[in-house]
Amino acid sequence: MAQPSDAPLFPPFSVIGPQFIAPYPLEIIVDKYPCRHLVITDSNHKIMLKVKPYDTTFHRQRILLDANDKPIAMLQEKNLTMHSRWNVYRGESIADSDMIFSTQTEHMIQFKTNVSVMLANKASSNDDCDMRIKGSWSKGNCTIYMGDSSTTIAQMHKPETSKYGKDKFTVTIQPNMDYACVVALLAIVDDIKNPDEKKDSSEAAEAVGNVMGTVLTS
């Protein structure tokens, strides 16, 4: 029997946590502010997640937070690698036992986005990727696929630049997909594509604080 056209493309795919899975298509809005701050809202402009820089002396890091600033996942660039590898851990941990997944670019030099994602708890030891991000980040047409298949997990739409100098783009996420994982992947690709952005500044913090206040009171 043919599958209904509106049926989910895959069963619930929990990566960071089942609480981040919606049984329906989800469209999120990603506002990118200076100094690597991201604010993620739903179609009603309610804050869902945030991403902030969390750099140390030796590591380039970003932290994924919920709407109340509770840490969800730590995103850490692995030093001294040729393929822009990132590891993602639970909470604020950077312990191997808390690793959720890792990512790496397919080529040392690439003009288009091609990033493979490997889950840390996969049952087999093969090198097949569990997800892949492909497209053009600068043109806003990146897509996240299930493994090396043509099954779309999430689709990024063309970004816009507002009068406040921040970038905004939307992402459509398929039902049953972990949207916190999607946001973590977007943050990693953003960092890979914009490695020279400055670290935290009071101006960036003020801008993010202003938008959060606006969203929360709207």
How long, in residues, is the chain? 218
Phi, psi dihedrals of residue 155, rounded to the nearest 5°: -130, 120
The answer to whether residues 87 and 98 touch, using CB atoms and an 8 Å cutoff, is: no
Which pLDDT value is given to residue 4? Answer: 46
pTM for the whole structure: 0.84
138 CB neighbour count, 10 Å cutoff: 13
**Tens-place pLDDT, residues 51-97:** 999 988 778 899 999 999 999 999 999 876 666 899 999 999 999 99
Closest CA to 171 of 10, 77, 34, 32: 32
Give CA separation, 156 vs 46, 161, 195, in Å.
19, 15, 20
**Tens-place pLDDT, residues 93-144:** 999 999 999 999 976 555 688 999 999 976 555 568 999 999 988 888 899 9
Phi, psi dihedrals of residue 179, rounded to the nearest 5°: -75, -25
Which pLDDT value is given to residue 83? Answer: 63
Which pLDDT value is given to residue 200? Answer: 46
Kindly state the average pLDDT of the residues 35-47.
92
| CATH number for region 23-217 | 2.40.160.200
Kindly state the average pLDDT of the residues 176-180.
98
Which pLDDT value is given to residue 121? Answer: 78
Is residue 1 predicted with pLDDT exceeding 50? no
